[in-house]
Amino acid sequence: MCDTMIAMGTITGTARTYLAKTSDREPNEAQYLTRTPAADHPEGAMVRMTYVEIPQVADTSAHVGSRLWWIWGFEHGVNEHGLAIGNEAEWSRLPAGTEPGLPDMDLLRLTPERARDADEALAVLTGPIETRALDRAAAPAPGAGVAARAARTQALAAEQAVAVRTLATLGALQADRLPPRGGDPRAPYLKEVAATAPVTAVKEPA
C-alpha cells in the first residue's frame, strides 16, 4: 500500500509545506519525472489518457509529476500554483467492468493540470467520473426499455446524493475543532466507518 505524508509549514521550520509519498511498485515499473508547461487549447480539443479520450479544458497549468512508464497518469505531482497531490489505494464496492475507464493515476494527473486549489481539485477528480457514470446511465442496455433506463438513472442519482452528503460531512469534520473527549458527536460516524472499512493490511506473524 502507498503512504502519503504532509509536513505543514508551521512545523518544518522553513514555513514551507512538504509532501512525501511512497509508491509500492514492482522493481521494473520505472517512473519518470514528467514536466508539462502551461498551455492554451482550442475549442473541441481532446486529451488522450491511458485508455480513453476526454474533452480538454481551455487552459492547463504547468505541472510536474512522477509517471509510470506504461501509463499516462501520475503517482503524485505538483503544479505552478503549489497544489500537490498523491494517490492511495481505495477499494470500491462496485463490481468491476470490462470497458476502458479512468485509472486513479489518470485522474490524479488531471488535477494539477486543471486545478488551482483544493476545492477545484475535488471538482476535477469527481467530474469525469460523474460524466461517464451519467453517460452509462443514459445509454440503454441491449434490450432494455424506458423503465429500465429510468431505474438506472434514479439509482445513480441516489448514489450521488449519498456521496454529496458524505463529502459535506467530511468537510465539516475537517473544518471544526475536535470537541472535548467524551462528548465527540462524531463517535457514531467514526464507529460506522471503522466497521465498514475494508481490511487493507494483514500483520505478518513475528
- Answer whether 110's CB lies under 8 Å from 103's CB: no
95: helix, coil or strand?
Answer: coil
Question: CB within 8 A of 50, min separation 6: which ones?
Answer: 71, 72, 73, 103, 105, 106
Q: Which of 2, 71, 78, 133 is catalytic?
A: 2
Active site annotation includes 2? yes
DSSP string for 4-58: EEEE-HHHHSSS--EEEE-----TT--EEEEEE--EE--TT-EEE-SS-EEEPPS
Residue ranges of alpha helices (H) inside the chain are 9-12, 104-114, 118-138, 146-175, 187-196
Question: Which residues share a beta bridge with 36?
Answer: 63
d(CA 12, CA 82): 16
DSSP state of 131: H
List residues with catalytic annotation: 2
